[in-house]
Structure 1
Amino acid sequence: MFDFTGKTVLVTGASGALGTTLSARFARAGANTVVAARTGADELAATLDGTALGVRLDVTDEQQWADAIARTEERFGPVDVLINNAAYLRVGTTESISLDEFRQVLDTNLTGALLGIRTAAPSMRKAGGGAIVNINSVAGLTAAPGLVAYSSSKWALRGLMRAAAKELARDHIRVNSVHPGIIGTPLAHAPDGSEIVPVGGFAIPRQADPDEIADFVLFAASDRARFATGSEILADGGFLLGPVA
């Protein structure tokens, strides 16, 4: 369906449920896939089809970003696609969340994406352009009580995406975001296995499969979306419509 043959794609947060799916999908589509994660990157790269490289990356660390891009260029050449997928979630209200937890969430979800864009952009210029896709959330489009840090980071990520899209447009670098609804990953469940956000009352009354969300991400990263930049692609199963009466 998608062809990334000859393209070099870097996926952050690659060892998580969605990151693993994205890495596998890009690899199957022919990409030189760079799987970046704090742990397990080499092991994941070894399981993928085609050519893959594992790099250790804490997205909050500027030097690790520089090292990751350098290793990518040494192995494959310039970066064509960056998927800012790494995310951190802490439950807490505006009054209950600690300041340290709030900062940790913003550091990963917002600052991590900023560092990715600013480090990958010079590499993309060498390639003549590229595509950046930020994995956002419905929490960046509506109120998310009890997830104040996560929601704040995702709303701010929208501003980062739009600013970067305008700044990088003349370099033929597109910047877009995908806003998934509730995905069937560990992040969507409490320690007892219950859904943090029950979805049975919504238009599509189930959680998304990671592979369904990957379809939207690969589209945004591909030349099929070549006329889109600064765009927010919603894939929420009707979540924002509210519960069906």
Structure 2
Amino acid sequence: MPSLRGKVAIITGGSKGTGLGIAKAYVKEGISVTITGRGKEALDAAQMELEQLVPNARILTVVADNKDHQAANQVVAETVKAFGQLDILINNAQEFRTGKLITEISDDDMESTFESGFFAIWRFMTAAYPYLKETQGTVINMSSGAGVQSIPRHGAYGPNKEAIRGLTRIAAKEWGPDSVTVNSISPYVASAESVRYEKAHPEIIAEIMKGVALGHIGDAELNVGSLCVYLASEGGHYMTGGNFDVDGGSSIRP
């Protein structure tokens, strides 16, 4: 989309999985991207993959842990310094602590889940807002069907994702007068993490797949990345406060 060329996006957790899929879709549209991750090796590999995909892509990598309270300010500041503006914030990074019953969840499980997810997203949104207000920008937060569907053994992860959806809706109302859109996406797409989880908990995945109407897991770039492209475009800028289920129909409701 010509309207996206020259825009600048931050994608947390952009070195793999859903985040990398979004980054691929964005660089193809001429969007400059900052991708974050906890490991430099993974970030370097992602940058190489993106540059092979789009040789002239403008990419900044920043090693950052979402649980670090200074990470949001650091990433936003480095992005604006490198590219001069900020148009899109994709909050994707999240620790994935699942597989335990509620009575088995530790304080560290709960704290790490919310610190890397809900609280980090709040910090990134707060740090990015002044720049997004200038560009009438876009925020997209990654939620999950784990909360909506009340999936067992997701007692920390699911409520955290539901809190993210609540924050998204309130921000959409508060920031609407500034023409900043805020939406969330609940994806079910393939990633290294989904493969690991499938191997560790095949019985849970088998149960989840029973409810996927299309019968297969989605693709990060094709299914989530393309939606993120649209939501950041002029055409998608009249949609705010919504949650988009990119999950093959597993969240179909009456």
- TM-based fold match above 0.5: yes
Contact 2:90 2:141 (C-alpha < 8 Å) held by counterparts: yes
Q: Are positions 1:204 and 2:206 aligned together?
A: no
Q: d(CA) in 1 for partners of 2:167 and 2:250?
A: 24
Normalising by structure 2, we get a TM-score of: 0.87
Q: CA deviation at 1:2?
A: 7.2
What letter is aligned with 1:39? G
Map of 2:143 onto structure 1: 136
d(CA) in 1 for partners of 2:30 and 2:72?
Answer: 24
CA contact (8 A) 2:73 2:124 kept: no
SS at structure 1 position matched to 2:30: coil
Q: TM-score, normalised by structure 1?
A: 0.90
1:103 matched residue in structure 2: 111
Where structure 2 has 5 or more consecutive residues not aligned to the other structure, the ranges are none
What's the RMSD between the two structures over aligned residues? 1.9
Q: Distance in 2 between matches of 1:121 and 1:77?
A: 15
* Structure 1 segment 163-174 matched on structure 2, within 5 A: 163-174=170-181
Q: Is contact 1:4–1:31 with CA below 8 Å preserved after alignment?
A: yes
| Number of the residue aligned with 1:45 | 47
Quick one: higher RCO (CA 8 Å, sep 6+), 1 or 2? 2
Structure 1 residue aligned with 2:25: 25
Identify which of 93, 96, 101 aligns with 1:89.
Answer: 96
Note if contact 1:3-1:30 (Cα within 8 Å) is conserved in structure 2. no
1:228 alignment partner in structure 2: 239
For the 8 Å contact 2:212–2:247, the answer to whether it is kept is no
Identity of aligned residues (%): 28
Q: How many residue pairs get matched?
A: 240
Q: For 2:231 and 2:204, how far apart are their aligned partners in 1?
A: 28
**TM-aligned CA deviation for residue 133 of structure 1:** 0.2
Between Structure 1 and Structure 2, the one with more helix by share is 2
AA matched with 1:47: E
How many angstroms apart in 2 are the aligned matches of 1:241 and 1:124? Answer: 33
> Is there any run of 5+ residues in structure 1 with no aligned partner, and where?
none
Q: Select between 185-194 and 161-170 the one with higher mean Cα deviation.
A: 185-194
